[in-house]
Amino acid sequence: MKQLLLLVVLSSVASAAPFTPATALRYEPTPQELLENCRSAKKRAESALEAVARMPAANRTFDNTPWALDQIAADLSDQTASDTFLKYVSISSATREAGNECETLLGQFSVDMYSREDLYRALKEYASKGESLTGESQRLVAKELLDFKRSGLELPADKRAEVLALRKKLVELEATFGKNINEYKDSALFDKTELDGLPEDFIGRLEEVGGKYKVGLDYPDYFPFMDNAMNGGARRVLEGKFNSRATVQNLPVLKEVLALRLQAARLLGYPTHAHFVLEDRMAKDPRTVSDFILRLRKKVKILAADELATLKSLKHVFEGRASDGKFNAWDWRYYDNQLKKAKYSVDNQKIKEYFPADHVTEQMLAVYQKLLGLKFREIKDAATWHPDVKLYEITDAAGGEPIAYFYLDLFPREGKYKHAAAFSLIIGRVMADGRYQKPVSSMVANFNKSTKDRPSLLTHDEVETFFHEFGHIMHQTLTKARYGRFAGSATARDFVEAPSQMLENWVWDREVLQSLSGHYLDRTKKLPNELLGKMLAAKNVNSGLVTLRQLLFGSVDQLYHGKPPADTTAAYARLAREVAMIPTSEGTHPEASFGHLMGYDSGYYGYMWSKVYAEDMYSLFKAEGPLNPQLGRRYRTEILEKGSSRDEMESLKAFLLREPNEDAFLESIGLTPGKS
């Protein structure tokens, strides 16, 4: 899952008008208006910080110092939310460019804020009074003090200035890295014969260029092609392009980013950037992460080796003497799909006929409403940034005023963010006047659009993605955290995926799957039991290799942010052989489009780390029923509403009513706990 870095100014007066997203967000600013608003909001925030800094020490209270700092950051985020969000969703390239500039400005503001000696002194003046604080308020002061320390405020002035300059440079480089991926355009042209195996509806929507068919690198093109194209040479071409995205632009950016991160970490007294980042995560240090990755690698390697041998055998059956005897990066998705078809008769193209996007959306929302005790209502004719976008309000099932809002922006368009993600726009928190700010979030995805012949149809993987990202939306919008920095999914980065990963399990439950399905020609026709049974039987096909692939990404991330290798491509290739067991393609540079190296630097291991906790939490639903409303309410109360207002491990224990463990995760991928 990707979140916007939306940091942010004490609101002077509460608006007299009832809150709606339209009162807080602007959807069609000109690029100039966007930047003017962004700069003005930043100036107001800077002015508010000055007021905090100048206050006499004797007058300091919790409200006017630590809470004021939190309000300033959150207010700035709210006031610029649409400005930065439009970088990812606007149809205008000029607006996206302006959004990128605004995001960079705000990133630099955050660096500046926590690098100010006068603000650190102000916070320490308050802390020295020794006022008795408990719970979330005590946590806020401790976290803010740590933020200043991690920004170098304990360093001499010259070293502190050096760290500040490095941080600002990194903000620019990180934004550039992401922009290069998002704006990268490439495709491949194939003869009709090279499209053998691809579904007709896929071929039918491809652009024809000079008698050939144009296949792009965005997910709606790339994944179906790699899953179904029989021609290995064609798959090799497209995979080579996909894993060479933004190579020329991003390899030098990545090299500089890694060097500057290491330099900044050492100035702050940390051995590596990984040590710096992990100090504030559940894992705490690189050794814990390394042990975690190695432990899981050992447990799943034998399982994965058997799976790889099966795939190689299947490839030999398909290709005979023409087979190169190897298993390549461009073979993975295709033979994984063919194995499911051959062994379990799982035909993903047939399955998706039972998952029209509109029906899945309606039924998925029904599941979440029942599970969490909520009611969703679509707001018709709402102002949005594109006609495809829908807006919903959330109320408690018991009634009352809306508690939050969310948008669904589900289909691809030119210049839009390429993946699936949940974006927190307006932050839930207590305002200075005592009101609780109603959160607003948006899910952004790239499911295939309807054609003249068929509605938008989702693969089962996409249904799973839908549940996952909407889980983030629930985390963001159901928050009851008092302070902005703890609201919603602003948790420790190695926990943030756990609530959403847990909810992926719902799309593997028979009852839920039946409710989600309905053939696009007749919605009353549910996924046939035979097909459903085969899907469930195939759930753990190649789960060992899939797990190792995630551990590869975590290993690459940790290696890069320890002592960065001189050759990032060679290091990636080595780890691919050692960890994932499937080599990278010669001449490709996957790290150049590994976008998580920016927002998740030193933290990618968190996907597997949080997956362990996710499966442990789901084990309760597995025992009590996936739609058990009492358990759903406890999950809402102890996990979703808390955010990071208390230590994440405390929230886990409060929900589980015991210590967490790895057993449920191992069972979920087909392993017996305690065995490897």
Give catalytic residue positions.
469
Contacts of 586 (CB under 8 A, 6+ apart): none
Q: Which residues contact 673 (CB under 8 A, 6 or more apart)?
A: 662, 663, 666, 667
d(CA 572, CA 91): 35
Give dist(CA 408, CA 441) in Å, integer.
9
Q: Under 8 Å CB-to-CB from 454, ≥6 apart: which residues?
A: 201, 520
Rounded CA-CA distance 436/427 in Å is: 10
Beta strand ranges found along 256-410 (DSSP E): 374-378, 390-396, 404-409
Q: The tokens 């100036």 sit on which residue?
A: 43
Burial 307-329, CB ≥16 within 10 A → b, else e? bbeebbebbeebeeeeeeeebbb
Closest alpha carbon to 164 in 119, 123, 116: 116
CA dihedral 23, 467, 399, 480 (to 10 degrees): -70
Round the CA-based radius of gyration of the chain to a whole number and report it: 25
Identity of the residue numbered 322: A
* Continuous segment of H or E residues that includes residue 233: helix 232-242
Q: Which residues pair with 377 in a beta bridge?
A: 393
Tokens for 305?
């080796």
Token pair, residue 65, equals 């110092």
In terms of DSSP bridges, do strands 404-409 and 440-444 run parallel, antiparallel, or are they unpaired? parallel
Which helix H or strand E contains 424, and what residues bound it?
Answer: strand 421-426
Please state, in angstroms and rounded to a whole number, the distance separating the CA atoms of residues 50 and 196: 65
Residue 90, SS3? coil
Q: How far apart are CA 25 and CA 83, in angstroms?
A: 8
* 612 neighbors 447 (Cβ within 8 angstroms): no
Tally of CA atoms within 13 A in the half-sphere of 270 that contains its CB: 26
